[in-house]
Structure 1
C-alpha cells in the first residue's frame, strides 16, 4: 500500500484516519509570525520609551512631549483643526505628483535609453535640473501659480522624475542583446522588440525607482507646503511650530509618515502583481 508523502494515514478509533502533524508543512502565516511578532515588539518598546523616556530624563514637554500627549493633540486637531481635510489634501498632492513624475520619468528614460544620441544631447540639462536644489524652485512656483496645490505637485514631480528616469534608462540600455537578436530573427519590428523584450526587462528597475520615488513624493509636497502653503499637513506643521506646539508638529510628522508608508506599500503591492512571474530573488523582499 502506498502512503502519501504529504500526510501519512494513521488509523484511529472508528476507522477514520488523520494526517501525521509532523509531516505537514507550515503555512505562510506561520513563517511570517516570528517577523510580525518581532516588529510588534520593536514598536511596543519604541512607544514605551517615547512615553516614559522624556520624563525619566527630565526633558520638558515643550521639547519632547510624551506619546500620550501627542495622541491627545491628534484628537484635538481632528476635532478643531480639520486634520482629516489637511491630510486628504496632502495625500492627493502626493498621489498626483508621484503619478505625473513617474510617467514623465518613464517616458524620458525610455527615449534616452533607446537613443544614445538623444541622451548625449539632453543629459547635461537633466543633470543640471537634478543638481539644482528643489527647495529653491518651491518659492518660484508659488510666485507663478499662487497658494494653490499646483506648486506642491510640481515640486513632487521634479523630485520623483529623476530616480524613475535613471532606473528605466539604465535598464533599457542593459537589455540582453541575445534576446533582442532572437526576436529579430523572428522578423519582429522595432515596436515589437520594445514591447516584447526591452520594456519587460526594464520593469524590475522601474519598480525599484518607484519605491524610492514614492517616499520622495512626500518630501516634495511637504517642501512645497512649508514654503508657501495655506492647506495641507505642511501648513499644520508650520502653524504648530509658530505656536510653539511641539505635539502638533509631531502629529503632522506622523501623518506625513503614514502617507509615505501607504504610498510605498501601494508600489510594493503593484510590483508583486505585475512581476509575479519573476523569481523571488529578482524582486525586493521589503
Structure 2
C-alpha cells in the first residue's frame, strides 16, 4: 500500500512538472519578449505539427527514422554482445583488438557519416551504420566487464560437475552478464537516436533529421521543434521497450536491483 502511494505521488509530481513546463513554453516566450521565429509558443508548434502531418508526410518520416533506430540498435547491440563476450573470454583477443576498437570509438562518428553517404548513397544504410558504430561500444564494454567479473567459484562448480565450456558460458557467464548487458542496452537505446539523426543531418532525403534540416533552411523554427519532439518521443519509446524487456528477462532479481532511472 505504501509503495503504491509513493508511486502515485511520484507520478503526480512528474505530471505537475510536465504541466508547468508546457505552461512556461506557451506563455514564457511572450512574457520574456522572445519573438516567434526564435522560440515559438507551444500552440504554434502544435499547429505546425498538424500542418506537417497533412502536408509534409510527418508520419512517414518518423517511421523511416524509427526503422533506422531499431535496425541500428539491434545490429549494434548484437555486435557489441558478440565482441564483448569474445574479448571477455579471451584476454589474448582483447590485447590484440582493444587498440583498434578504442581508436574506432575515439574517432568522431560525424566524420564517418559523409563517407558512408558517399559509399552507400542517400539511403537508410548510412544512417544505420552510424547508429551501429555509436551503439556498439557501450554494449561491448558492459558485457566485457560483466564476463570478466563472473564468480570463479561458480565456474569451478560447473566444471566440477563435468560441465563443458559451452555449459559454463550458458549456465554461469552469460546469465551473470545479463544485468550489465541491459544497462548497456539502456544507454544504447538513447545513443541510437543520436546516430541516426547525425546520419540524416549529413545526408538524407527522408527521416526526421531531414525535416529538421529542411525546417532550418526555411527559417521555420516551429518545424525544427516538431522534429526534435518527434525524435525525443522515438527515443523514449526505445528506452521504455528496453526497460520492459529487462523486467521480463530479469524478473528473478530483487526489486532493489531492478529499479529504473
TM over 0.5: yes
Alpha-carbon distance in structure 1 between the residues aligned to 2:53 and 2:212: 14
Partner of 1:222: 197
* From 121, 144, 161, the counterpart of 1:146: 121
Structure 1 residue 27: deviation in Å? 7.5
Q: Which runs of 5+ in 2 are unaligned?
A: none
- The Cα RMSD (Å) is 0.9
Measure the CA separation in 2 of the matches of 1:111 and 1:45. Answer: 49
User: What TM-score comes out, normalization by structure 1 length?
Assistant: 0.90
Tell me, yes or no, if structure 1 residue 169 matches structure 2 residue 165.
no
Residue 32 (structure 1) shift: 1.6
Cα offsets for 1:128-159 (capped at 9, x unmatched): 00000000000000000000000000000000
* SS in structure 2 at match of 1:147: coil
Q: Which residue of 2 aligns with 1:15?
A: none
More helix by share: 2
Structure 1 residues not aligned, in runs of 5+: 1-25
Of the candidates 205, 228, 232, which is equivalent to residue 180 of structure 2?
A: 205
Deviation at 1:185, TM superposition (A): 1.1
Larger Rg: 1
Deviation at 1:29, TM superposition (A): 4.3
Q: Distance in 1 between matches of 2:6 and 2:233?
A: 26
Match in the other structure for 1:18: none
State how far apart, in whole Å, the 1-side matches of 2:176 and 2:150 are. Answer: 7
Q: Give, in whole Å, the separation in 2 of the partners of 1:267 and 1:259.
A: 13
Retained in 1: the 8 A contact 2:243–2:260?
no
**Bigger RCO of structures 1 and 2 (CA < 8 A, at least 6 apart):** 2
**How far apart are the structure 1 equivalents of 2:24 and 2:243?**
30
Using structure 2 for the length normalisation, give the TM-score.
0.98
Q: For residue 274 of structure 1, what is the aligned residue in structure 2?
A: 249
Aligned length: 261
Q: Is residue 118 of structure 1 aligned with residue 121 of structure 2?
A: no
Matched, 1:237 2:212: yes
What is the CA distance between 1:279 and its match in structure 2?
1.1
Aligned equivalents of 2:235, 2:73: Cα separation in 1: 11
1:264 to 2:239 alignment: yes
